[in-house]
Chains A and B, each alone.
Chain A
Amino acid sequence: EPEVTQTPSHQVTQMGQEVILRCVPISNHLYFYWYRQILGQKVEFLVSFYNNEISEKSEIFDDQFSVERPDGSNFTLKIRSTKLEDSAMYFCASILDSRGSYEQYFGPGTRLTVT
């Protein structure tokens, strides 16, 4: 069964450093998402991406964040200057294939720890 993959599984970085989280969505999907989950809290939407541009973003997704689909397979989330409060699990998801399925498939997540 096709799946969304994410790398790395765990990233430790120092405050102020840049990080790039990588995702490979399901190949024939058209919409891509990033969510995050701070430990013990609910899953929160960050950004959605369609047709090579951001379609929606939350108030969390400020100027420190950016997303990119540099080629036909990868979908990345960059945090320019990490803060302690960016420590969370980050999930990538993708949706919508040619059959019209709206089920969002999630990757296993990247745990980001900012020290």
Chain B
Amino acid sequence: GDSVTQMEGPVTLSEEAFLTINCTYTATGYPSLFWYVQYPGEGLQLLLKATKADDKGSNKGFEATYRKETTSFHLEKGSVQVSDSAVYFCALPAGGTSYGKLTFGQGTILTVHP
């Protein structure tokens, strides 16, 4: 079945450090791919998305490129801030449909220190 695997966390960085959170997937066809963020005490917010191979999603300085050949969608940010501290989830709609249930990775806790 469709699945998402994220790098094990937690990740602890100093402010202005470079961030990579790895995400690989197994899926039927070529679904859209998403990164969601969950700030402390809040719900899930869509951070960025990519709808087809080689697309790059970007938002708030974060980027991720849909790599069909490596089945990956790694999240990157060049210079993290304390306010980026949150849990990050990679996700895809399962079953080959765009409106299918989302399958999430296990989440990566990011802590950024001043």
Among B18-26, B39-47, B63-71, which stretch is in contact with chain A? Answer: B39-47
Please give, as numbers and ranges, the residues of chain B lying within 8 Å of A103 by CB-CB distance.
Answer: 46, 49
Please give, as numbers and ranges, the residues of chain B lying within 8 Å of A58 by CB-CB distance.
Answer: 101
Q: Is the CB of A31 within 8 A of B43?
A: no
Q: Is the CB of B104 within 8 A of A102?
A: no
Count class of interface residues, chain B: 20 to 34
Known pairs A42-B104, A43-B89, A43-B104; A108 contacts B42 (CB<8 A): yes
Nearest Cβ on chain A to B11's Cβ, whole angstroms? 16
Please give, as numbers and ranges, the residues of chain B lying within 8 Å of A43 by CB-CB distance.
Answer: 44, 89, 91, 102, 104, 107
Nearest Cβ on chain A to B4's Cβ, whole angstroms? 9
Q: Is the CB of B99 within 8 A of A106?
A: no
| In the assembled complex, B58 has its CB within 8 A of some CB on chain A | no
Q: Is the CB of A102 within 8 A of B42?
A: no
Alpha-carbon gap, A35 to B101, bound state (A):
9
Q: Is the CB of A102 within 8 A of B32?
A: yes
Q: Is the CB of B105 within 8 A of A42?
A: yes
Q: Which residues from chain A sit less than 8 Å from chain B, CB to CB?
A: 31, 33, 35, 41-45, 48, 56, 58, 91, 93, 95-96, 102-109
Give the 5 A-B residue pairs with the shortest CB-CB distance, closest first: A108-B43, A102-B98, A106-B44, A45-B101, A43-B104
